[in-house]
Amino acid sequence: MSNNNPIGLFDSGIGGTSIWKEIHQLLPNENTVYLADSKNAPYGKRTKQEIIQLCFKNIDFLLAQNCKMIVVACNTATTNAIKEIRDKYKLPIIGIEPAIKTAANKTETQTIGILATKGTLNSVLFNQQVESFTNIKIIEQVGHGLVELIENGEIESLEMKKLLTSYLEPMIKANIDYLVLGCSHYPYLIPAIKKILPENIKIIDSGEAVARQTKSILENTNLLNTSSEISSQVFYTNSDDQVLKKILGFEKNVFEKKF
């Protein structure tokens, strides 16, 4: 495996590009291949077995592009399938989990909120994590419908505003001081969420932490790309490429592909 080989990332759709942006910002030298499995979104409503099979299919696609490392840029996929993925594939695998620990360590009201998919909130991995914070009240809310609206390019719609308000108001009333975004699609909702939350409630997502972890694993495995050549960033989607292009803010190297 050469250091020039790309990092492969995948998500159920376009949301994982929020993670790609953090990784690309921290590691601009790295070549990357991003896979949006939008045709099969949302993963949050699927069974564990379905999610595992979709992850295998996505990783096989990325391995065919000679990826040196896989970033599972999806909380739902990580919390449901990371063990099975690590058992099957022998290259470095990075997962993303809701940043509950960070929020739990910082909260002063001893109450935090988490917005995530049903698949993440119901997963064994997530529930094990939650059980370890016995002194903190954690208000869990499934973001029903949010991923679908984001995938349709309806981030600023009235429907989005209504859904977010109904999910966040009970958390505000419960006196949370941190809101954890437990889905890689949700960082795109931060401007809309900020319009609803009072200023004292801080928003936490896992993007930066995943980027730092990616860098450290690349260093530890001697896979960091030290080449001074301009890196290549390639994106594939099995759905309409327009929404992916819009969320990325560019059109170059964004392709529709059946997989």
**Catalytic sites, residue numbers:** 74, 183
- What residues contact 167, with CB distance under 8 A and at least 6 apart? 115, 141, 143
The tally of CA atoms less than 13 A away on the side-chain side of residue 28 is 4
Handedness of CA 114, 146, 42, 61 (dihedral sign): negative
Q: How many Å separate Cα 186 from the centre of its chain?
A: 8
Q: Is 38 in the site for ligand DGL (CB under 6 A)?
A: no
One of 74, 85, 104, 180 touching ligand DGL (CB under 6 A): 74
Q: Which of 6, 42, 113, 187 binds ligand DGL (CB under 6 A)?
A: 42
Interacting residue with ligand DGL among 120, 206, 233, 238 (CB under 6 A): 120
117 binds ligand DGL (CB under 6 A): yes
Give yes or no for residue 107 binding ligand DGL (CB under 6 A): no
Interaction of residue 44 with ligand DGL, rule CB under 6 A: yes
In this structure, is the dihedral angle defined by the CA atoms of residues 175, 178, 136 and 82, taken in order, positive or negative?
Answer: positive
Q: Which of residues 67 and 77 has its CB atom nearest to ligand DGL in the complex?
A: 77
DSSP codes joined into one string, 162-187: HHHHHHHHHHHHTT-SEEEEESTTGG
Residue 147 in contact with ligand DGL, rule: CB under 6 A: yes
Amino acid found at 36? A
Structure-token pair, residue 92: 């470095």
- Nearer to ligand DGL (CB atom), residue 5 or residue 167: 167
| Smallest separation, CB 156 to ligand DGL (Å) | 19
Number of residues that bind ligand DGL (CB under 6 A): 18
75 in contact with ligand DGL (CB under 6 A): yes
> Which of these segments, 86-94, 124-132, 178-186, 222-230, binds ligand DGL (CB under 6 A)?
178-186
Eight-state DSSP code of residue 27: -
Nearest CB to ligand DGL, comparing residues 149 and 254: 149
Nearer to ligand DGL, 81 or 176 (CB): 81
Give whichever of 6 and 95 is closer to ligand DGL, judged by the CB atom. 95
At residue 187, what are phi and psi to the nearest 5 degrees?
A: -55, -25
Task: Give bridge partners of residue 178 from the DSSP assignment.
Answer: 112, 202
Which segment (40-48, 50-58, 129-137, 216-224) binds ligand DGL by CB under 6 A? 40-48
Alpha-helix residue ranges (DSSP H) falling in the chain: 17-26, 48-64, 75-88, 100-106, 118-121, 124-131, 146-151, 158-173, 190-196, 207-220, 241-248
Give min distance, CB of 82 to ligand DGL, in A: 12
Q: Is 238 in the site for ligand DGL (CB under 6 A)?
A: no
Rounded alpha-carbon distances, angstroms, from residue 77 to 48, 103, 147, 217, 222: 9, 22, 14, 20, 27
Task: Give the footprint of ligand DGL on this chain (CB under 6 A).
Answer: 11-13, 15-16, 41-44, 74-76, 117, 120, 147, 183-185
